[in-house]
Structure 1
Amino acid sequence: MGGDCAHGSRPVIRTILVTALLFGAFGAVLGADPNLPKPDAQWSLLPNEPGLRNHGVVLTDGGAAFDGRGAYLEVSQAPKLGKGDFTLAVWVRADDGNSSADILSQYDSKRKRGFLLSLKSNAVTTSQSNRRHLHFGIDNDHASKWTDRGRPGNAVLAFSLTVHDGYMYAGTCEPGPNESGRVYRSNGDGRWESCGAPDKSNAVTALAVFEGKLYAATGKYRLAGSALPESTNTHLGGCVFRYEGGGKWTDCGRLPNVEAVGGLAVFRGKLYASSLYKPPGFFRYEGGTSWTALPTPSGKRVEALAVYRDHLYASGYDEGHVYRFDGEKWTDLGRLGENTQTYSFAIYEGKLHVGTWPSGRVYRFEEPNRWIDVGRLGNELEVMGMVVHNGRLLAGTLPLAEIYQYDGNSKWTRLTQLDTTPDVRYRRAWTAAEYRGEVYYTTLPSGRIWSFAAGANAMWDTEFPAGWHHVVASRCGNQLCLFVDGKRVAASPFDSSRFDLASEQRWRIGAGPNETFRGMMRDLRVFQRALNVDEIASLVKATRRD
């Protein structure tokens, strides 16, 4: 019988051989790429896609459209991750939503375990600290020690931080009689290179990136507000400058009746600024040295500025309220508890969070105008710089310059005290930014800057470009890598043995611990191994739509 089977199978064998030869010939003619990898899971993100739970996403022939207002997709069955390598690949078109947005995630906030692929746009206290920076992070409840990153110049405080074109920039308050607030930059090695003093005032109070350029705002900071001796520098600020490189600053105009700028933010393609001190002021940049003065809510000051779901939100120092601007008018969203000042914003798990004085509490915003108390940070009085770093909501405080981590259910865990200067009333952990996969915090009165990493992170410290781009995030041995359009843009070493990502959490497309995504995605592929450079290049070429 065996002979019969062998004999009877000869025509089949001939057919297989002929088919294989023909396929090989056609493959050669069509240019089939032998490097094109086969995914372990794949979703086209087109209409009638099976295996997804849809929470408000519009599936079109061009891809999945996300509104940035809560819509996301949930994967019913996804590959299991653990200690091994893996690769994520997806085409992304990110609209300019001005807040951090998750592209893909599997993250357990209670266990602090999983992965995140995100675009980070942070607004922290007075500054726009990150703008569309691609981030890939993994975690298994691991955290680094805090690292002292030095003191820029003679700063008593780095008032402002922002990341631009691969560098961290810091704007300082230097109150001495022959000193001025300056801008410094660093590549993360603890050394700070001076980029010059925009004017003669004692502080650079805010930084932002607008139309691809770095902008700095100045002020005469009243140090008595931090219970320190007043500056002997009497020069007023209230001006905005654009950095041209090489220590050169272009004057972009003075804001009328403004002693110190309170905040900078980009909203709907325009640059806005606020006044730190009275009289209240709110302004829109019109180019050159021209600014348009706009109304403030009921004549009250607006301070820190942050964009959330296509509106501009402002904190207030006059009555503990939060205000919302729609491009024309303000809406008062009410007072937060018995507080007299609101200080800072962060968007965590799709919700706006606000820090306050003097209760030292954080509140979560629930539409249309309800505020939920999510707890006090130890015995602190003021909540300043807040940022979501690799899935964790962090906050800095006064009077002890402590850093706290939110653990849910109104519980905050103290991580460290950053400034231990003796014989002072107030110490501040003031503002923050993410850079090279770490979060940086500034302090008063020591003027030093500290960094810390939750989990392991790779970050592209350059603004993510407009239009469609292919994004790859890879865990490869002891390295995390990011690729954009086939080019490696970031790589970060880590101890792989510490990171077991096994989790029962569902994968979410367009959602995670930050804000929901705004824009479009298509052709999501997952590989349970690390792709090499040639395979990534083949994947980009094979899936591109020109």
Structure 2
Amino acid sequence: MPRFLQVTLSIPLLVFSTFATAETQVSEGLIGHWPLKRDGKDLSKSGNHGINHGVRFAPTGAVFDGVNDFIEVPDAQSLGLGTSDFSISVWVRTDAPVKDVIGDIVSKFDPTTRTGMNFRVMNSVGATSAQSNHRHLFFGIDSRSEPKWVDRGRPGHNKMTWALTVFDGDLYAGTWEPGEGEAGHVYRHAGGQQWVDLGSPDRCNAVSSLGEHEGQLYAGGSFYSGRGSAQPISPNKHPGGRVFRYDGNDRWIDCGKIGDVYTVTGLVSFGGRLYATTCDSYGCPSRTAACYRYEGGTKWSFVGDAGGRLGAFLVHNGDLYATVFGKHAFARYEGETSWQPLGVAPNTGQTYSAVIYRGRIRLGTWPTGTVFEFAGPNQFHSMGRLGEEKEVMAMAVYNGKLYAGTLPLGKVFRYDEDDWTDTGQLDTTADVLYRRVWSMAVYEGQLFAGTMPAGRVLSMEAGRCVSDGRSLAPGWRHLTAVRSDGALKLFIDATCVAHRADFDAPNPDLDNTRPLLIGFGENDYFQGAMRDLRIYRRALSQSEIQTLSNQAP
């Protein structure tokens, strides 16, 4: 054989040999390998085949509709993770703009014992007046931990941490500062109990809403008298009703006033557009009930009246919803200026908050302090009252469990299968009628909550968790979650985006008898596509993660 032909033939053989060696290496320790192109079959030696519940398969991967599709892998001894190291590797495609929660990628979690693991993309709104997490990756494990709340300080001189939002890797707080000569501020958390003041966008006494839209941080300003919270009336009467965009270096760009209103009580990015609600209250010339959409520059367009003052937004399964104070407690946006009333929960005067839990809408209400499941127009199922509380405000799904903040004692409760567990009183201010836990966000793997009238922010960690505070870019991304020697790591396209090893609790035993769910979990059905899901009972190395990431769809 001619020498040049021998060399030519050896090149593809060398490439194939190198690829085969790399593939063999990243096959070691596999307890499940689901290509997700034709079916839910497991190609590993474990034979953990999945049962398909409506998922559509294609050569590029499995397509999940975000409504009720998922793959169920029955429990097996080989899926027991115990206290061992393990890794999850998967290609995921998410779309933009967002019209859904995005949801759970993989979960194997027993909510009764609070044992197992959760891997999801967070896209949270409705807690209460902020879009708290926007396309943020989360990985958590737990085994019956009993978390404790930790004081994270008081941003400025505020009397209410009105909004908490994670943006571009940092946690931001919007505040109510009602004193003479004061105004609402935005602060950035600087670790521990430290907060950096980013200034006052406006002269009004509150920054009442925060949210991310198209890679920018927006803030809504409000006038709040304090009367509705039994606080002294604020001497600052300057009207709010304006929205601002953060331009860095404490600079805020005025994006205009939304109608003739005094408050901006909600912001949400939906379908590539930014929407704002208003909920004018005591001390305002009128109680305007309206929703607006940003048209660029300083222009806002009126997009309807939902039948009462609007509270929190919610995005779910392609629709935009809003909670309402008035005769219509919950409503869905129908386009242009039309809203469809969806009914009022029993014994409810005001609906404050909304969250997606196990694929269904849940609503926080006043005056019975009850959370309801919304099961369709005029169908509300009680999930029970939170202790003896009267009002449910911020709610968040965190590491497989639903948490809710309350009034009048300023507590946070955890939903534990037909009952609510008191996790602690966050605001212990003496000699006041009302205390609130109004805001929540997940940041650096922990659940943060803001209070009134103490104005302090607290955090807690259930089990061990990590999260990425930067929005996951749309399109195909290779995601990896790793537990290694007790530490947790998150990778996006082979780059480590979150790493934590400073855990106080012992390494949790994750064994449970629940099925492994692909595309579903305690938050929501996944909306997007997946392929090449692998689970290992060992920690993948950086080079192995890079090898898997190089095998692009």
SS of the residue 1:538 aligns to: helix
Q: Where does residue 13 of structure 2 map in the other structure?
A: 26
8 Å contact from structure 2 (residues 85, 486) kept in 1: no
- Give the structure 2 partner of residue 226 of structure 1: 229
> 1:496 Cα deviation (Å)?
7.2
Which residue in the other structure is 2:35 paired with?
44
Pairing 1:335–2:324 present: no
How far apart are residue 42 of structure 1 and its match?
Answer: 0.5
Residue segments in structure 2 that go unaligned for 5+ positions in a row:
1-8, 42-48, 281-286
In 2: Cα distance, 1:379 partner to 1:87 partner = 43
Q: 1:268-324 CA distances to partner (integer Å, 9 max, x unpaired)?
A: 1111111111121210001110100121124x2222111111111111112361111
In structure 1, how many angstroms separate the alpha carbons of the residues matched to 2:194 and 2:532? 42
Residue pairs, 1:239-278, within 5 angstroms: 239-277=242-280, 278=287
Does structure 2 conserve the Cα–Cα contact (< 8 Å) formed by 1:166 and 1:187? no
Cα shift readout 1:369-414 (whole Å, capped 9, x = no counterpart):
41101100011000000101101100000000011110112x1111
The structure that has the greater radius of gyration is 1
For 2:546, what is the secondary structure of its paired residue? helix
Are the aligned partners of 1:125 and 1:343 in contact in 2 as well (CA < 8 Å)? yes
Distance 1:378 1:319 in 2: 26
Q: Does 1:417 align with 2:397?
A: no
Aligned partners of 2:348, 2:94: CA distance in 1, in Å? Answer: 37
Given that 2:368 and 2:389 are in contact with CA atoms closer than 8 Å, whether structure 1 keeps it comes out as yes
Q: CA deviation at 1:258?
A: 0.6
How far residue 33 of structure 1 moved from its aligned partner, in angstroms, is 6.2
CA deviation vs aligned residue, 1:331-355 (integer Å, no higher than 9, x gap) = 1111111211000011111111001
1:7 corresponds in structure 2 to: none
Q: Any conservation in 2 of the 1:83–1:497 contact (CA below 8 Å)?
A: no
5 Å matches for 1:208-357? Answer: 208-277=211-280, 278-298=287-307, 300-319=308-327, 321-328=329-336, 329-357=338-366
- Check if 1:180 corresponds to 2:183: yes
1:100 and 1:514 in contact (8 A); partners too: no
Residue equivalent to 2:450: 442
Distance in 2 between residues matched to 1:280 and 1:476, nearest whole Å: 52
Q: TM-score, normalised by structure 1?
A: 0.93
Match of residue 122 from structure 2: 120
Match of 1:470 in 2: 478
Offset from partner CA, 1:70-110 (integer Å, 9 cap, x none): 11111245622111000100000113344251000001110
Distance 1:29 1:265 in 2: 49
Alignment match, 1:90: 90
Structure 1 residues 368, 62: CA separation in 2 closer, same or farther (over 3 Å shift)? farther
The verdict on how the C-alpha distance between 1:215 and 1:407 changes in structure 2, with shifts beyond 3 A counting, is same
- Between 1:521-530 and 1:34-43, the stretch displaced more is 34-43
Residue equivalent to 2:4: none
The equivalent position to 1:101 in structure 2, one of 82, 100, 103, is: 103
Q: Which runs of 5+ in 1 are unaligned?
A: 1-21
Sequence identity (%) = 42
SS of corresponding position for 1:535: helix
**What is the aligned partner in structure 1 of residue 172 from structure 2?**
169
* In 1: Cα distance, 2:505 partner to 2:34 partner: 28
Cα deviation, residue 208, structure 1: 0.5
Conserved 8 A contact 1:258-1:281: no
Residue 29 of structure 1: how far off its partner (Å):
6.1
- The TM-score normalised by the length of structure 2 is 0.92
Residue pair 2:328, 2:342 contacting (<8 A) in 1 also: no
C-alpha RMSD of matched pairs (Å): 1.7
What is the Cα deviation at residue 187 of structure 1? 3.7
Q: Distance in 1 between matches of 2:522 and 2:292?
A: 32
What residue number does 1:10 align with? none
Q: Contact 1:98–1:131 (CA<8 Å) still a contact in 2?
A: no
Greater shift in the superposed pair: 87-96 or 311-320: 311-320
| Cα distance per residue 1:213-239 (max 9 Å; x no partner) | 000000111201100111111111100
Paired letter, 2:211: A
